[in-house]
Amino acid sequence: MTFVMGPALLFCPADRPERFQKAAERSDAVILDLEDAVAAPDKQRARGAILAQLGGSGDGPELDPSRTIIRINPAGTEDFEKDLHCLAHTPYRTVMLAKAESASQLRALPDFHVIALCETAAGVVHAPAIAAEPNVVAMMWGAEDLLASLGGTSSRNDDGGYRAVALHARSAVLLAAGAAGKQAVDAVYVSIPDLDGLAAEARDAAASGFGSKACIHPSQVAAVRAAYAPSGEDVAAATHLLEAAKEAGAGVFQYQGRMIDGPILRHAESVLRRAR
């Protein structure tokens, strides 16, 4: 199974099966959340909702496994083991491991494609080793759990921008993913009404190299998709630049007053990939 990872991933509480199909239809991939979005007494009911939905026996048609992620509880917990027991009876084989902190934790998931969510100090510090594990397909970072693990109170400054430690974690996870040839997913934007702030952050994520951004509300999806979609002018400029490179042949050349070399051409190729 080839997993489809578009730009906008949407979290959906796993104990709200009536929302599963709507979330899947409104996003590029849905993340059914068995961790933070579900209170401890409701986790077993959430697992049951995932199982009941299979075969169309629940509140909607069965979800496409190639566009469905299950966020499971942290490794070493009782809920982690229960989550795996539940998933053994489903076609879902892409999971997001909450609070991933070491490469050894990923080895407990040999039958899954894993998005490793680094949201503690240990997870960020060990991100390179985690990303190198063969079953890891993507890396994500989380700001609020990270600050909580450090004893902090907020990931953002008064102006809405990330604090330095959060920016460091964001960069560290992105670099670890890139070094291992894996995709990176940017953290959620928790201020749901602030679509302008989300759009600016998503544009930065796309320009920085994050392949996707996670959303917590359907209203955020359009802003993320728009941020990742190059404008017609950007596509035309990238196309013309790559055509000029073919005419110039190998090596560095000058184009519209700029020196053009390999990295600049790869930037243009990335624009066309996002357009597709």
pLDDT at residue number 57: 58
Structure tokens of 144? Answer: 């609020």
**Alpha carbons 240 and 253: distance in angstroms, whole number:** 14
pLDDT at residue number 272: 79
150 and 163 Cβ atoms separated by less than 8 Å: no
User: Domains, the chain, ranges and CATH?
Assistant: 8-228 (3.20.20.60), 232-275 (no CATH)
Of residues 263, 211, 267, the one with CA closest to residue 239 = 267
Burial of 258-273, coded b for 16+ CB within 10 Å and e otherwise, reads eebeeeeeeebeebee
CA 152 to chain centre: 24
pLDDT at residue number 4: 59
106 and 136 Cβ atoms separated by less than 8 Å: yes
pLDDT at residue number 246: 82
pTM of the model: 0.87
Q: Kindly give the confidence (pLDDT) of every residue in the chain, 276 residues in length, as a single tens digit, with 9 standing for 90 and above.
A: 555 578 999 999 999 999 999 999 999 999 999 999 999 999 999 999 999 999 765 556 789 999 999 999 999 999 999 999 999 999 999 999 999 999 999 999 999 999 999 999 999 999 999 999 999 999 999 999 999 999 999 999 999 999 999 999 999 999 999 999 999 999 999 999 999 999 999 999 999 999 999 999 999 999 999 999 877 777 788 788 888 888 888 778 888 888 888 888 888 887 777 777
10 Å CB burial of residue 111 (0-12, 13-18, 19+) is exposed
pLDDT at residue number 216: 97
pLDDT at residue number 245: 83
